[in-house]
Structure 1
Amino acid sequence: MATITTAPGTQDSLVGDSGAAHDSSVRRWWVLAVLGTAQLTITLTATVMNIALPYAQRDLGFSDASRQWVVIGYTLAFGSLLLLGGRLSDLFGRRSMVIAGLAGFAIASAVGGAAVNLDMLIGARVAQGVFAAVLSPAILSTLSVTFTEPSERAKAFGIFGAITGGGAATGLLLGGALTEWASWRWALYINLVFAGVALVGASLLLARHAAHPKPVLDLPGTVTVTAALFSIVYGFSHAETNGWSNTVTIGFLIVGVALLCAFVIVETRVTDPLLPPRIVLDRIRSGAYLAVFTIGIGLWVVFLFLTYYMQLIRGYSPLLTGVAFLPMVAALVLSSLTTPSVLLPRLGTRLTVAGGLLVAAAGMAALTRIGLDTGYGHLLPGEILLGLGVGAAISVAMQSATAGVDHADAGVASAMTNASQQIGGSIGTALLSTFAATAMTHYLVGKAPSPVLESQAQIHSYITSFWWAAGFLAAGAIILAVLMRTGSQDQPHDGRVHHARRRLC
């Protein structure tokens, strides 16, 4: 008989107190399939809607100024509510939050696909963001407490990293196919397929979880950090369209930073903090958060500006653009699957993550070779290097971000991972869009306007953004190499019991 003793304060198992060890192992991999499908539901949404948005605009008849709110509405809800969503998993159970998140996300997607006007579409996107904030940390925390044996954990997080990193690029391909062959509405309806499959699997396979004693929700911390993240995400989104000198941009960013400072003070004084300081003070875990943040800056910039280059300069269709990203996806998947089990045991967390960021930076620099008449061959080396670097860094970073965390804190620790990536993406998109726009303006100064010059100026702006992104990735690698603690990510960093002790009798 196999008995499972869990970490103190939790009751979380896959097979209960009986059942063969082999059956338990097989069931864990089925759980990974469910969690991967649920994660794919979220990651696809980030890019599939971007491809479909111009078609939705033409169909529903809204302005360019209003179009941004279809994106911002989702980003604001998702980014600002992540830490709360993570703590809800610790309060009410990961299984409950996975199921609730999937059901809510599916309903919101159905409403968005059936939208008859802009308000209905924006409302559905905001609801998607809310339920994604509930679902995303619950997925990662469930994965963390399900796979506790080092060998299985490395494989599981490698697969999960491949899904997380490759899902967004796959969304470009899926978005192009759906908009060309069906309708923009299917960019939302497709979520019903993935969410439905994951919902059935979660209901059948995920075990109920209860914490004793149950954590208390930190209301002052929740309100403070939610308002802070909302202000920061909105401030950067506003900067992208209205500039950094805009009063609203400056105001929201100042308020966001001030609220973050207040949140830090609150968390050191309350009895049950929303984000216990021990989670972010560990140097391996904080390094992992920094790595995910840096990847968020670089990866979304590639999807944005490389998509512009392919479609606006090279004349690729949406479907062909998605196909053109496949080599990067393949490299990312390969790297994610092999790095945790092959490189990580030999190099350690610090060198593996920092090395991955450096390879990604080299890939970003290689993309600066694009030109007005350059072929796809100039993109391929950069895409492959980016995929290899991001896959290595993100798979190990996600594994390290949740290792050594007590089960009672798994939800909020996972939420910090998601929040780091979301904030990185918001900052990167806004900041590098501004750099690109400035570079384009300077390129055109004093020159006679022409279609060719306009295209050359656009390419110059893309190259500028790629150089900046390469710099951010390289800087992140250097900081991690210097500051990240050397050690095994499989040991409890904060001195608390973090995984189930299994014994056969």
Structure 2
Amino acid sequence: MIILDASIVNIALPSAQADLDISNADRQWMVTAYTLAFGALLLLGGRIADYTGRKRTFIIGLLGFAAASAIGGLAPNQELLFAARGLQGAFAALMAPASLSIVTVTFTEPKERARAFGVFGALAGGGAAIGLIVGGVLTEYASWRWCLGVNVPVALIVAAAAIPIVHESKAPGDTRYDIPGVLLATLGLFSLVYGFTEAARAKNPDDPRSTAVQGWGHPTTVTFLVVAVVLLVAFVLWERRARNPMLPLRVVLDRNRGGSYLVFLLVGAGLFAMFLFLTYYFQVNLGYTPLKAGFAFLPFSLGIILAAGVVSQLLPRLGPKALMVPGLVMAVAGMLLLTQIDQDSSYWTLVFPAMVIMSVGLAGVFIPAASTSLIGVGHHDAGVASAVLNTAQQIGGSLGLALLNTLFAGAVTSYFVDHPPTGPQQAQQLAPLAFIHGYHVAFFWGAALFTLALVSAWVFITAHKEDLPADTAAVAA
């Protein structure tokens, strides 16, 4: 639901903007308000799950997310809508780490746990594409408000099922909150996500033809990124000496866990290239409606969901690295295939096979990486370790937004410099070709990010299949 919501809102945004008379300069806050709250509060949400109880935190997150969705869906003005989106992000920051830590401590038998992570990986990889489809259907046949309102019945159904089924669990021992760590981490992550968001913000929001972004050199971008570095370095130094740290450094410094977090961050950043720029390509260059563009991503969702079942069966037999490395090779190949698109490309002969290759490959990444990220984590730290995984994915998405949007905008600008139009009519004719050039650059660098993830998996992931059952027993204890 969290991942679906992040993409479904992108489809609803144009209709919401027109309905509530939101300016082009302010429309980014429908996405940014959610992203900032979610990214900044994830680590705190993980610790709340550990200390307060994972089931309780999950239920509170679900009901709060449903209430915030209802407020947003009924919002009569942009101020209430943006506030509701921020509340959604805050409650999602409770729900996400609580849900993954529940999986960690509930499924103790290796094959069961592999299947559970298979479901998690399928949702993590396919949820965004499903969100595009659902958003297109609701926007075209109902209202943009239902893109938020649809969360209410889903959350209530999940909560009703979870209350009798899920068992409560919480961290043993010292459960005092590390207040300085909470403040440093929350403010540091807020500054980091906001800095990335500012770098990708449109420089001329009132000009629909402009692709220029604020960029990395903008004073606001630089200020927030510098503040983020200072605060996060201070956070690490504090955690080294804190008696009961918010994030014990042993969680992230373990070779396998740290490698999994890095893979999730890099894959999250690279995958953004496919979703963002293929959406542009479908709607701007091929003239697809939002609904048709959403359905164009269906092979990606189905590929991950179907492959996840196979991967979850193979994981206990082969171990994580044997699946992650070939999976990332396939992801790189699929992304590079997208660098061949042009204005006249056929969906079925180029885009479709690229998405299928990527989806199958990424199923072999998400599931083993999620499982490996929690190897050796004690019961006390299951929630915060899950939060680190969610944070890595969130920071990766924000980084992908900033980095790839900047590269795309620069490529489009350079195309017009190299092919100067002689008049408005020729400029209009050149625009689709300039965008194609920008897509090529974005997809190439998306493949580069996948390649870095491949190297990270090859270097850092050393866990064998025998490690997974041993870890499972340790976590259950």
| TM-score interval (norm. to shorter) | over 0.9
Residues 205-354 of structure 1 mapped to structure 2, 5 A cutoff:
205-241=165-201, 242-342=214-314, 345-346=317-318, 348-354=319-325
1:447 matched to which residue of 2? 420
1:92 and 1:423 mapped to 2: Cα distance? Answer: 26
- Is it true that 1:125 corresponds to 2:85 in the alignment? yes
SS of 2:407's partner is helix
SS of 2:387's partner is helix
Poorly superposed stretches of 4+, deviation over 4 Å: none
* Structure 2 residue runs without a partner (length 5+): 202-213
Residues 228 and 260 of structure 1 are in contact (CA less than 8 Å); yes or no, is this contact kept in structure 2? Answer: yes
Instruction: Give the aligned residue type for 1:97.
Output: T
1:465 matched to which residue of 2? 442
1:69 matched to which residue of 2? 29
RMSD after superposition: 1.5
Residues 291 and 353 of structure 1 are in contact (CA less than 8 Å); yes or no, is this contact kept in structure 2? Answer: no
2:326 matched to which residue of 1? 355
* Structure 1 residue runs without a partner (length 5+): 1-40, 501-505
Deviations 1:165-208 (A, max 9, x none): 11111000000000000000000000012101111112221222
Residues 295 and 394 of structure 1 are in contact (CA less than 8 Å); yes or no, is this contact kept in structure 2? Answer: no
- Is it true that 1:198 corresponds to 2:171 in the alignment? no
Q: Residue 491 of structure 1: CA displacement?
A: 5.4
Instruction: Give the aligned residue type for 1:485.
Output: T
2:328 and 2:180 mapped to 1: Cα distance? Answer: 36
Deviations 1:76-100 (A, max 9, x none): 0000100000000011000110110
Residues 144 and 403 of structure 1 are in contact (CA less than 8 Å); yes or no, is this contact kept in structure 2? Answer: no
Deviation larger for 212-221 or 310-319: 212-221
2:380 and 2:460 mapped to 1: Cα distance? Answer: 27
Residues 111-150 of structure 1 mapped to structure 2, 5 A cutoff:
111-150=71-110
2:136 matched to which residue of 1? 176
- Is it true that 1:385 corresponds to 2:357 in the alignment? yes
Deviations 1:345-391 (A, max 9, x none): 22x32232222122111111111121111121220111001101111
Q: Residue 485 of structure 1: CA displacement?
A: 2.3
2:174 and 2:218 mapped to 1: Cα distance? Answer: 45
1:82 matched to which residue of 2? 42
Instruction: Give the aligned residue type for 1:107.
Output: A
Instruction: Give the aligned residue type for 1:362.
Output: A
1:490 matched to which residue of 2? 468
2:205 matched to which residue of 1? none
SS of 1:87's partner is helix
Residues 404 and 491 of structure 1 are in contact (CA less than 8 Å); yes or no, is this contact kept in structure 2? Answer: no
- Is it true that 1:409 corresponds to 2:369 in the alignment? no
SS of 1:100's partner is helix
1:459 and 1:380 mapped to 2: Cα distance? Answer: 17
- Is it true that 1:98 corresponds to 2:98 in the alignment? no
Q: Pick closer, same or farther for the CA change 1:210–1:159 going to 2, 3 Å.
A: closer
2:204 matched to which residue of 1? none
For 1:58, which of 5, 13, 18 is the aligned residue? 18
Instruction: Give the aligned residue type for 2:444.
Output: W
Deviation larger for 381-390 or 413-422: 381-390
Residues 403 and 491 of structure 1 are in contact (CA less than 8 Å); yes or no, is this contact kept in structure 2? Answer: no
SS of 1:412's partner is helix
- Is it true that 1:422 corresponds to 2:422 in the alignment? no
2:209 matched to which residue of 1? none
Residues 110 and 469 of structure 2 are in contact (CA less than 8 Å); yes or no, is this contact kept in structure 1? Answer: no
Residues 291 and 394 of structure 1 are in contact (CA less than 8 Å); yes or no, is this contact kept in structure 2? Answer: no
- Is it true that 1:376 corresponds to 2:347 in the alignment? yes
2:172 and 2:78 mapped to 1: Cα distance? Answer: 46
Deviations 1:305-348 (A, max 9, x none): 101100111011111111111111111112222113225622x3
Instruction: Give the aligned residue type for 2:354.
Output: G
1:81 and 1:96 mapped to 2: Cα distance? Answer: 17
SS of 2:167's partner is coil
Instruction: Give the aligned residue type for 1:447.
Output: P
Residues 102 and 135 of structure 1 are in contact (CA less than 8 Å); yes or no, is this contact kept in structure 2? Answer: yes
Instruction: Give the aligned residue type for 1:195.
Output: A
Instruction: Give the aligned residue type for 1:136.
Output: A
2:441 and 2:374 mapped to 1: Cα distance? Answer: 35
1:167 matched to which residue of 2? 127
Q: Residue 214 of structure 1: CA displacement?
A: 4.4
2:186 and 2:175 mapped to 1: Cα distance? Answer: 19
2:210 matched to which residue of 1? none
2:170 and 2:385 mapped to 1: Cα distance? Answer: 18
1:429 and 1:109 mapped to 2: Cα distance? Answer: 24
Residues 279 and 405 of structure 1 are in contact (CA less than 8 Å); yes or no, is this contact kept in structure 2? Answer: yes
- Is it true that 1:475 corresponds to 2:452 in the alignment? yes
1:37 matched to which residue of 2? none
2:171 and 2:261 mapped to 1: Cα distance? Answer: 26
Q: How many residues align?
A: 458
Residues 332 and 387 of structure 1 are in contact (CA less than 8 Å); yes or no, is this contact kept in structure 2? Answer: yes
2:16 and 2:67 mapped to 1: Cα distance? Answer: 19
Q: Residue 295 of structure 1: CA displacement?
A: 1.6
Residues 34 and 87 of structure 2 are in contact (CA less than 8 Å); yes or no, is this contact kept in structure 1? Answer: yes
TM-score normalized by structure 2?
A: 0.93
Instruction: Give the aligned residue type for 2:55.
Output: R
